[in-house]
C-alpha cells in the first residue's frame, strides 16, 4: 500500500517582477499550484520505502499518479495496490 501526504504551495516567490505591470501579470499567470507528495510503501514484512516528489494537480490525473508510483517503487507493472492520503493545511 502506498500512503501519500501532500501540501499545496505556489511555485514562485510571489514577489513582483522587476519590470512591473505587464510582466508582473504574466508572471502571475505562469505560477502554478504544486502539490508536494511524500509516499510510504508498506509491503508485508519488507522494510518501509519512502519517495518524495511534486506534481501539478492541473495535469496529473490518477492514472498518471499511479504510473509515477509504479516507476518510483519499481513495481514491475503491478497495478494491484491501494492509495490513501493525508492532506495537511499550512498554518
77 in Cβ contact with 70 (< 8 Å): yes
Residue 81 Cα distances to 30, 67, 73, angstroms: 35, 12, 12
3-state secondary structure of 75: coil
The predicted pLDDT at position 19 comes to 55
Which pLDDT tens digit goes with each residue over 40-82?
A: 998 889 999 999 999 999 999 999 998 899 899 888 767 678 8
pLDDT at 61: 93
Confidence band of 27 (pLDDT split at 50, 70, 90): low
Of 45, 44, 51, 47, whose CA–CA distance to 74 is shortest?
51
pTM above 0.75, yes or no: no
Amino acid at each position: 500500500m502506498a500512503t501519500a501526504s501532500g501540501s499545496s504551495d505556489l511555485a514562485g516567490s510571489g514577489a513582483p517582477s522587476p519590470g512591473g505591470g505587464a510582466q508582473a501579470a504574466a508572471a502571475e499567470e505562469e505560477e502554478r499550484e504544486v502539490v508536494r507528495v511524500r509516499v510510504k510503501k508498506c509491503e508485508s514484512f519488507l522494510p518501509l520505502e519512502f519517495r518524495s516528489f511534486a506534481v501539478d494537480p492541473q495535469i496529473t490525473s490518477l492514472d498518471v499518479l499511479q504510473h509515477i508510483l509504479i516507476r518510483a517503487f519499481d513495481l514491475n507493472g503491478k497495478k494491484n495496490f491501494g492509495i490513501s492520503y493525508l492532506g495537511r493545511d499550512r498554518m
